[in-house]
Amino acid sequence: MDDGSASIFCFTPLRVTVSELDQRRATDAASESASGPVCSAPPIPHGPCPVCPRLEQEFEPWRQAAYWQSMHRRAVEREAQLKAENDQLKALLRLREQQLFGRKTEAGAATEPTVPPANLGTPPRRRRGQQRGRKGPKRRDHSHLPAVVEDHELPPEQGRCSRCGQPFADFPGTEDAILLEVDVRAHRRVIRRRRYRPTCSCAAHPGIVVAPPPPRLIPKSLLGVSIWVDLLLDKYLFYRPTSRLLADWATHGLDLSLGTITDGLKRLAPLFEPVYEALVRRSQGQTLWHADETRRLVFATIEGKVGYRWYLWVFHSAEVVVFVLAAGRSHEVPEEGAIRKNRYLGAGFLFSHTLVDNRRFPTHPSQGERPCPSANPANGESQRRPHSNRGIASRRSAPRSRTSSSRSKPNAAMGA
C-alpha cells in the first residue's frame, strides 16, 4: 500500500473431485464467453493441478488399485488355462502308460481315448435297418424243407350254429398257415436182431443164426454217426468249444462225458488221413502258393524236442489249403509238406523265415524261366529259374532258422 504496509490474502482450499473440477471449468468458460471478450491467456492444462498438488497424491492410489485388479484378473485366467492344459497332458500320459504297460489282448483293439475329438460338420449317421425309399429284401423260400401236416378241426361245441344248434357241413379246401420249427431231440435206436433156428439136418449151421449187427463208426461205441457229424461240424465249422456243445446236449437229455468225446476224436483222426494225403497231392500240383507259419503251443513231449513251442504252417493255393503242424520252421517243412521239392529256387531264396535249398520253385503261368547259375548241368540239374520271386508269397521274412532237420518234421497235420 501507499503507507508501506502489506496485506496477505488467506483462504481455505475447497476439496472437489476431478469431474466437479471439469464442470466448474466448463461453467466458467461459458460465462466468460457470454459476458465479454474471450481471454487471450492459454488454457488450463489437464495435468496435475498447478495450485494444489494434493489432488494428484490422493488420486494415485485409485489408479494403482485399478491396475493391480486388471493384472490379478489376467493372472487368474492364465492359471485356469494352465490347469486345463495340465489335466489334458495328465490324461494323455495315462493313456500312453496304459498302451505301453497295460494288459493287451490280440482280439481287442488298442485303448481308445476317453473323450474322442468332436467332428464338426460330419453328416448324420444312417439309421439301422431298412432304409426309407429303398426296395425291401426278397422274401426267403422255405419250400425245400420237409412238411409235417397237422389237421385242425373245430371242437364239437363250436361246430354247430350258435342259435339253432344245427351242425356245420364240410366245405372243400383248407386255409393253410405255415410255421417254421426246429425239432432237436436225442433218441435211442433200438435194433432188434432176429434169431433163426435151422430146420434142416445137413448141419451146415450148427447153432442159432442171428441177423448181422449194425455198422459202427467206432467199434463197441454207443455213439452213432449223427452224433459225430454234429460234433465235427459244431467244433470245426462253427468254432464252438466241445464243453458248450455237451452242455447244449444235456438240455435235451443227452448227458455225455468229455473224456468219451476226446477219446473218440483221437480214434477218428486216422480216418481223415487219406483225405489229407489227397489234399497234399492236389496242393503239390499247383503252381502258386502263399505260405506262412505261426507259433502254437503243443503240450506234448517228443525225443529231441525242448519246450512246447511248435509251428502251424499253412500253404494256400488256388484250389486247396493245407495245414502242417511241425516242431520247427526249417526248410524241410515245406519240402516235405504241400510243395513239390523240384519247384524251388536255389540256395539264397528267403521263404517265410527259412532258406529253401532246391533248384526250382513255382512260377506264375505268365512268367518264364531263366538259367540258374547254382545248378550243375553235368549232374542233370535244371539251369532254369523264374524271373522273379513272386512264385511263393510270404507275409514276413527273417534270417534262416537254426532248427535241426530232426526237429522240423511234422508231427501232426490237418487239411481243409
Least confident of 49-58, 145-154, 269-278, 393-402: 393-402
Per-residue pLDDT at 13: 67
Q: Are residues 224 and 325 in the same domain?
A: no
Q: Are residues 369 and 280 in the same domain?
A: yes
d(CA 228, CA 125): 47
In this structure, the strands spanning 369-370 and 385-386 are: antiparallel
Per-residue pLDDT at 381: 43
The verdict on residue 84 lying in a domain is no
The verdict on residue 170 lying in a domain is no
Per-residue pLDDT at 371: 38
Q: Are residues 357 and 295 in the same domain?
A: yes
Q: What's the Rg (C-alpha) of the chain?
A: 50
Q: Are residues 361 and 386 in the same domain?
A: yes
Residue numbers of the domain that contains 361: 272-415
Residues 408, 333 contacting (CB under 8 angstroms)? yes
Q: Are residues 240 and 374 in the same domain?
A: no
Q: What percent of the chain has pLDDT over 70?
A: 66
More confident position, 75 or 346: 75
Domain final residue pick, 227, 256, 285: 256
Least confident of 107-121, 131-145, 363-377: 363-377
The verdict on residue 82 lying in a domain is no
Residues 335, 320 contacting (CB under 8 angstroms)? no
Per-residue pLDDT at 274: 94
The verdict on residue 102 lying in a domain is no
More confident position, 172 or 58: 172
More confident position, 364 or 85: 85
d(CA 39, CA 37): 6
Per-residue pLDDT at 398: 39
User: 182: pLDDT confidence band, cut at 50, 70 and 90?
Assistant: confident
Nearest 5°: the CA angle 247, 248, 254 is: 80
Q: Per residue in 51-90, pLDDT tens? A: 666 666 777 788 888 889 999 999 999 999 999 999 999 9
The verdict on residue 51 lying in a domain is no
Q: Are residues 309 and 397 in the same domain?
A: yes
Q: Are residues 317 and 231 in the same domain?
A: no
Q: Are residues 318 and 228 in the same domain?
A: no
User: 279: pLDDT confidence band, cut at 50, 70 and 90?
Assistant: very high
The verdict on residue 169 lying in a domain is no
Q: How far, CA to CA in Å, does 52 sit from each of 10, 17, 55, 129, 321?
A: 15, 13, 6, 87, 106
Q: Are residues 242 and 284 in the same domain?
A: no
Per-residue pLDDT at 92: 93
Q: How far, CA to CA in Å, does 378 sit from each of 381, 383, 386?
A: 7, 11, 21
Q: Per residue in 295-329, pLDDT tens? A: 999 988 888 888 899 999 999 999 999 999 888 88
Least confident of 115-129, 208-222, 257-271, 318-332: 115-129
Per-residue pLDDT at 354: 32
The verdict on residue 177 lying in a domain is no
- pLDDT of residue 401 exceeding 50: no
Q: Up-side HSE of residue 1: CA atoms within 13 Å toward CB? A: 5
Q: Are residues 246 and 302 in the same domain?
A: no
Residues 280, 303 contacting (CB under 8 angstroms)? no
Q: Are residues 371 and 339 in the same domain?
A: yes
Report the domain count for the chain. 2
Q: Are residues 276 and 409 in the same domain?
A: yes
- pLDDT of residue 385 exceeding 50: no
Domain final residue pick, 256, 285, 314: 256
The verdict on residue 153 lying in a domain is no
Question: In the predicted model, what is the mean pLDDT of the chain?
Answer: 75
Domain final residue pick, 202, 230, 256: 256
